[in-house]
Amino acid sequence: MLIDAHAHLDLEHYAGDQAEMIERARQTGVERIVNVGIDPPRWDSSLELARRYPGYIFLALGLHPTDILRAGDPEAALARLEQLIVENRGLVIGLGETGLDYYHDDVEPEVQKVYFEKQIDLAARLDLPLVIHCRDAMPDLLATLKAKAVGLKIMMHCFSGSVEEANECMALGENVFISIAGPVTFAKAFDRHEVARVVPLERLLVETDSPFLTPHPFRGRRNEPARVRLVAEKIAELKGISYEAVAEQTGKNVRQLFGVA
Ligand SMILES: [Zn+2]
């Protein structure tokens, strides 16, 4: 079952053709999509979207590390997040994306850490998988996860670290999954190739992060969930196995992690 484990289909990039784009995903064989709402306005737009596609689009909601201050009072935002999750169980299947982003300098690392830890606590309390965003912050991210998230269910979204770092993530518990996105299709993405080759298929997910991270040969254009197939095909090529095996097992992994039917 081919599943796009991470996309942002409620963004303005799809204002003109959202329904057609989702239909293309279905036609390509994408059987579920996890849409990720990254700040309070997008929690609402994500919920609206998921209600229009019951059983097809599921949600992760959270405060993205670079959007913490845009949320107004982040404490109030987190309280509202918890309420939305409790009211929409079954539709909201994950918490995130949350994590650390030292590439963008919108929010101080210390502030990012505070709200990352609060969201880890919230995920533990609500028994929801964490969807983790990490950019240029892997040492601090791993330290935080080792201190606070051992044994939790975790999706390492668009993993960009080394094989060693992937192993450190997986050592946190049996329900930690490494999610591979479009950049694995780039010719010179040697680290990502190595991670896709070495991490066992039982620990891999595939995602698009639409509208971002468009795979080869469409790089530079708007991405969409239909192209998750290109990611799965590249993993199959790197591992020397069939595309069907990758689609089947990564879909199983999404269902195990998020409890999706
Ligand atoms: Zn994302």
The residues that bridge with 92 in the sheet, in sequence order, are: 59, 89
What pLDDT score does 106 carry?
86
CA distance 151 to 209: 25
pLDDT of res. 3: 98
**In angstroms, what is the span from residue 147 Cα to ligand 1's centroid?**
24
Going from the Cα of 208 to the center of ligand 1, the distance in angstroms, rounded, reads 9
How many angstroms does the Cα of residue 198 sit away from the middle of ligand 1? 24
Work out the average pLDDT over 82-109.
96
Nearest to 96 by CA among 140, 54, 53, 153: 153
Write out the two tokens for 160: 């960009």
| Per-position DSSP letters for 155-207, written without gaps between them | EETT--S-HHHHHHHHTT-TTEEEEE-GGGGSTT-HHHHHHHHHS-GGGEEE-
Average predicted confidence (pLDDT) for the chain: 97
In the structure, ligand 1 is a single-atom ion and the residues with CB under 5 Å from it are: 209
Q: How confident is the model at residue 105 (pLDDT cuts 50, 70, 90)?
A: confident
pLDDT of 255 > 80? The answer is yes
Q: How confident is the model at residue 35 (pLDDT cuts 50, 70, 90)?
A: very high
Contact 63, 77 (CB under 8 A): yes
Domains by residue range for the chain, with CATH: 2-258 (3.20.20.140)
- The CA 202 to ligand 1 mean position distance, Å, reads 22
Percent of the chain with pLDDT over 70: 100
Question: For residue 211, how far is its CA from the centre of ligand 1 (angstroms)?
Answer: 9
Band (pLDDT 50/70/90 cuts) for residue 165 is: very high
Q: What is the pLDDT of residue 211?
A: 98
